[in-house]
Amino acid sequence: MIGYILRRILQAIPVFFGTTLLIYFMVFAMPGDPIVALFGDHGVNEAVAQQLRERYHLDQPFIVQYLIYIGGIFQGDFGTSFSGQPVADILAATFPVTLRLASIALFFEMVVGIGVGLFSGLRKGKLFDSSALVASLILISLPIFVVAFVMQLVFALNLGWARPTVSAAADWSELILPAAVLATVSIAYIIRLTRNSVIETEGMDFVRTAFGKGLSRRRVVGVHILRNSLIPVVTFLAVDFGVLLVGATVTEGIFNVPGVGRTLYQAIIRGEGPTVVSFVTVMVLIYLVVNLLTDLLYAALDPRIRYGK
Amino acid sequence: MRLSKIGVGAVALVAATALVLTGCSAGGASGGNSNIISTNGSEPQNPLIPTNTNETGGGKIVDSIFAGLVYYDAKGAPVNEVAKSIETKDNQTYTITLNDGWTFTNGEKVTSKSFVDAWKYGALFSNAQLNSYFFDAIEGFSYEEDTDLTGLQIVDDLTFTVTLSSPQSDFPLRLGYSAFFPLPSVAYDDMEAFGENPIGNGPYMVAEKGAWKHNVDINLVANPDYKGGRKPMNGGLDIVFYATQDAAYADLLSDNLDVLDGIPDSAMKTYTTDLGDRAVNQPAAIFQSFTIPESLAHFSGQEGQLRRQAISMAINRDEITSVIFDNTRTPARDFTSPVIDGWSKDLKGSDVLDFNAKKAQELWAQADKISPWSGTFQIAYNGDGGHQAWVDAVTNSIKNTLGIDASGAPYPTFAELRTAVTDRTITTAFRTGWQADYPALANFLEPLYQTDAGANDGDYSNEQVDALFAKGNEAGSLEEANKYFQDAQVILLQDLPAVPLWYSNVNGGYSTLVKNVVFGWNSVPLYYQITKK
């Protein structure tokens, strides 16, 4: 088990270098000179522009820029944004917000998605099941910004239950509305995934055996059916948590959440190489960790799966 | 490792629930001082150093925390702030006297040295300040190497003289722009750190160290020691950085935001009914145009002049401003803006800006006699700025009137478009715009149409125009200067180095919680006047 984890961590090293190199290259290859954009519609003062390029190493060839950047990372320096703020500080300020947002969204996904999915699966073909299927279909087909705008209009502007946007503090209660929006599409998938998985498991021999042994319905459903149905759902949830953690540009924009997605989007627009690459690098690391945890979770849910010796 | 029951999932559920519950009880801390005005802004692109702030996001903040020699009132007229008097006999040597008793918020006295050192810092080549060109009129300035601004001489603590390399009649008008603000001596120890927590002498000051929460907001409080005419009538400002205007607008509607100086496209049709008399729609010092560079085939010499005029007359500005922009733009009558002193709607030749299909076709036919037209007429624009709708409307108008192929040419980002424009690789017409730094006709004209000027993106050059600009600068009074600048515009209306489209209006609104909201000439609300109800 330990060996397996160590091996996975070692594998992450080339992934880390590969992704940073790739992302750095893509930012580098982005057309348009960010320094020119700094001057706006005003004419570019070439002498000033040249000095700024030197300051941000933009006059160096690609590979030199990349090596300077990577060298900095190993000294704990993620570079600075154009507004003079260390990228590490920006990371430290935005990730907790997105983490909170993602946690709440995941909570919604688990409670609503698994709950409704289990209920539907156990009542296959009944009214509840059909309505859940139709509802999830609608949720899947709605673009997220439509859901976001509608929820903002209804819950914040019309009913006044929440602020339309998230304040600077971005505390838990303010993030409930955007998190609910973020969770909608995934909830729909989880309902369908859980439902199908429950139906499949229900027909298995061991379930019949369990009933035959005279176990209570509650115990059969809770222990035998649900736990065995959860394997595909957990995979989905874990991957989805990774997706949530790397930020949601659209939702964070609409609700003005000071999180990762919004910040990254603005950095891309401004062509701030160090900010973009550092954000993406951390996202890649999170993704790798979440994937590893997912694989370990498999073993926990299904004893037949064993890693390493 | 056997886990009983639903195991891991249940643990996660409980943990998440606990987190949410604890979070809820910790909420509700926002609000605070009710005398603070909240307004929208955007993350400053640079540290908050006056000579390095050239965009509106940072400008709004810098203007609030610093006081210069003069400030602009709602109409754009300069009013002495730190300056007691600004005197000149020849428009070339200015004697500036300061009011006594001004201090920075760290207690340091504001003296002539505070101004002179700050200007020298901003102008110095190796400091690479984005606003350095504002000092290029002062004697001793260089774009190529570090030189001393010899034109600045300190006479005593409250007096200094400025000698320009040539007469500039509108120099006093420029002095309210942020580039000319003073700096306390502590700034030079570490300019980057200073820009993070700036210390000024303006009506507001940063609330505390770290009050600038990047990408989130900045908190300003009223400066009790402020001595000028912009005395705050409120306790402070919370400038919130929004990712989208839609988010800011939603906050305004629910009274979470007090003042908004931009309306999202999605609300353009409804905001006047949503807000009633709290809606604001007035012309601003923003001029929009597109530029057809001299280097384009068919657009040089006499042929180019005819074609530019034909294209200008082929655009139905009235219809486009009302249909596409819901009258939130005002059709252009010249190259400046109606909020600027000296603006005129009836300059000779301004009928070239009227929609006139017949005349346009005639002029186009005349040009075809010189050299027959071929190809497509394209206007390049940046796709990240909401320009597609009007570019399509303008090119359609041209296409239908002149019977030629015309279309928009989108560039994904502003940076990309400006790069192509700046290195002159662009092979189409392109959108251009100008927002005034200071309220003077000259600011709309010289940087854009003078030979080799910094923002002369179309490489326009006309000796007559240059001569009129020079005369305007030497003129004895602003009225006299404005006449020369108007004469220069008459020539520009024939040559059309840029095709004027419209002036942007400032569209905004305010919440039910505040009153006395007035928008200034530069589209920024006069924050100091706003009071809570």
pLDDT tens column, B435-451: 888 899 999 999 899 99
A309 has pLDDT over 50:
no
- Average pLDDT of the residues of chain A: 84
Helix (H) / strand (E) element for B284: namely strand B279-291
Q: Which residue of B has its CA nearest to A170?
A: B27
Q: Is the CB of residue B130 less than 8 Å away from at least one CB of chain A?
A: yes
B61-77 in b/e form (b: 16+ CB < 10 A) is bbbbbbbbbbbbbeebe
CB-CB contact of A107 with A187 (8 Å) = no
CA proximity to A191, closest of A85, A265, A258, A117 = A117
Distance from A14 to chain B by nearest Cα, in Å? 31
Which residues fall within 8 angstroms of residue B405, CB to CB, at 6 or more apart? B375, B376, B377, B399
Give chain A positions within 8 Å (CB) of B192.
84
Q: How far is CA B310 from each of CA B73, B173, B333, B352, rounded to the nearest angstrom?
A: 40, 36, 16, 8
pLDDT at B14: 41
Among A165, A229, A235, A268, pick the best mutation site for testing chain B contact (most B Cβ within 10 A): A165
pLDDT on residue A307: 67
The reply to whether residue B30 touches residue A234, judged by beta carbons under 8 angstroms, is no
Dihedral of the alpha carbons of B481, B487, B488, B490, in degrees to the nearest 10: 150
Q: Return the pLDDT at A308.
A: 58
- Between the alpha carbon of residue A149 and those of residues A135, A142, B62, the distances in Å are 19, 12, 34
Q: Residue A162 pLDDT > 70, yes or no?
A: yes
Q: For the residues A17-33, what does the mean pLDDT come to?
A: 81
Closest C-alpha among B174, B458, B441, B486 to residue B349: B486
β-pairing verdict for B429-435 and B376-382: parallel
Dihedral (Cα; A163, A166, A168, A169), 10-degree rounding? 90
Q: Report d(CA B330, CA A37) in Å as an integer.
A: 27
- Chain B residue numbers touching A256 (CB-CB < 8 A): 240, 242-244, 247-248, 251
| Cβ–Cβ gap A107/B243 under 8 Å | no
pLDDT at B13 over 50: no
- Whether residue A145 lies within 8 A of chain B, CB to CB, comes out as no
**Residue A9: predicted pLDDT:** 83
Partner-chain contact B454 A157, CB within 8 Å = no
pLDDT digits (tens, 9 = 90+) for A106-134: 999 999 999 999 999 988 889 999 999 99
Average pLDDT of the residues in B501-518: 94
The letter for the amino acid at B427 is T
If pLDDT is split at 50, 70 and 90, which confidence band does B9 have? very low
**pLDDT band at residue A247 using 50, 70 and 90 as cut-offs:** low
> Is residue B26 within 8 angstroms of chain A, CB to CB?
yes
Contact list, B247 vs chain A (CB under 8 Å): 164-165, 253-256
The residue among B523, B505, B506, B510 whose CA lies nearest residue B278 is: B510
CA distance B62 to B256: 24
DSSP conformational letter for B476: S
Name the residue with higher pLDDT: A271 or B72: B72
Taking alpha carbons only, the member of A190, A192, A194, A226 closest to residue A207 is A226
Q: Which of A36, A223, A253 sits opposite B422 (nearest CB)?
A: A36
Residues of A in Cβ contact (< 8 Å) with B419: 31-33, 36-37
Q: What is the residue whose two structure tokens read 């500039």?
A: B168
The pLDDT-based confidence of B28 (bands split at 50, 70, 90) is: very low
Over residues A143-164, mean pLDDT = 87
Specify the pLDDT at position B229.
93
Check if the beta carbon of residue B81 is closer than 8 Å to that of residue B71: yes
CB-CB under 8 Å, B196 with A263: no
Buried b (16+ CB within 10 A) or exposed e, A62-92: eeebbeebbebbeeeebbbbbbbbbbeebbe
Tokens of A184: 């909608």
**pLDDT band for position A249 (cuts 50, 70, 90):** confident
Local structure of residue A213 (DSSP, 8 states): T
pLDDT digits (tens, 9 = 90+) for A87-99: 888 888 888 899 8
Judged against a pLDDT cut of 70, whether residue B378 lies above it is answered with yes
Q: What is the dihedral of CA A136, A140, A142, A143, to 10 degrees?
A: 150
Confidence at residue A43, expressed as pLDDT on a 0 to 100 scale: 67
pLDDT at residue A5 greater than cutoff 90: no
Residue A219: CB atoms within 10 A of its CB come to 13
Interface test with B, best of A27, A38, A41, A166 (most B CBs within 10 A): A41
Q: Does B216 touch chain A (CB under 8 A)?
A: yes
Say which of A42, A44, A222 has its CB closest to residue B6.
A222
pLDDT level of residue B219 (50, 70, 90 thresholds): very high
Q: Is the pLDDT of residue B16 over 50?
A: no
Q: How far is residue A213 CA from its own chain's centroid?
A: 43
% of chain B surpassing 70 pLDDT: 94
Element (H, E) at B427: none
Q: Is the pLDDT of residue B18 over 70?
A: no
Helix (H) / strand (E) element for B315: namely none
pLDDT at residue B15, as a whole number:
42
Task: Spell out the long-range contacts of A14-20 with Cβ–Cβ below 8 A and sequence spacing 24 or more.
Answer: A15/A284, A15/A288, A16/A281, A16/A284, A16/A285, A17/A70, A19/A280, A19/A281, A19/A284, A20/A66, A20/A69, A20/A70, A20/A277, A20/A280, A20/A281, A20/A284
Q: How confident is the model at residue A253 (pLDDT cuts 50, 70, 90)?
A: confident
The residue with greater pLDDT, B181 or A19, is: B181
Interface-testing mutation among B241, B254, B444, with chain A (most A C-beta atoms within 10 A):
B254
Minimal Cβ distance to A173: which of B27, B44, B414:
B27
Contact flag A253-B244 (C-beta cutoff 8 Å): yes
How high is the pLDDT of residue B97? 96
Q: Inter-chain contact B196–A85, Cβ cutoff 8 Å? A: yes
Least confident of A1-10, A20-29, A268-277, B171-180: A268-277
B144 touches chain A (CB under 8 A): yes
**Could you tell me if B526 and B520 are in contact, meaning their C-beta atoms sit under 8 angstroms apart?**
yes
Q: B263: closest CA among B253, B496, B89?
A: B253
Q: What is the mean pLDDT of chain B?
A: 89
The full set of domains in chain A, from first to last, is 88-251 (1.10.3720.10)
Taking CA–CA distances from A42, the nearest residue in chain B reads B455
Kindly report, residue by residue over B440-488, the tens digit of the pLDDT.
999 999 989 999 888 898 999 999 999 999 999 888 788 899 999 999 9
* B8 → closest Cβ in A43, A253, A300: A300
Please report the pLDDT score of residue B22 as a whole number.
Answer: 37
Written as six digits, the tokens of B38 are 């909240």
Strand ranges (DSSP E) for A216-298?
A: none
Model confidence at B10: pLDDT above 70 = no
Burial of A46 (0-12, 13-18, 19+ CB in 10 A): exposed
User: Residue A127 is which amino acid?
Assistant: L
| Residue A50 confidence (pLDDT) | 82
Interface of A with B in 161-180 (CB under 8 A): 163-165, 167-169, 171-176
Reading the block at residue B484, the tokens are: 């020369």
- Torsions phi, psi for B504 (to 5 deg): -75, 145
Q: If you count residue pairs, one on A and one on B, with CB atoms under 8 Å apart, how many are there?
A: 220
pLDDT greater than 50 at residue A214:
yes
Whether residue B57 contacts residue A40, with contact meaning beta carbons closer than 8 Å, is answered with no
Q: Residue B79: helix, strand or coil by DSSP?
A: strand
Examine the pLDDT at B166 and tell me if it is beyond 80: yes
- Does position B30 have pLDDT exceeding 70, yes or no? no
Q: Which has more confidence, B214 or B356?
A: B356
Q: Residues for chain B: how many in total?
A: 533
| A41, B455 contact by CB (below 8 A) | yes
CA of B127 to nearest chain A CA: how many angstroms apart? Answer: 8
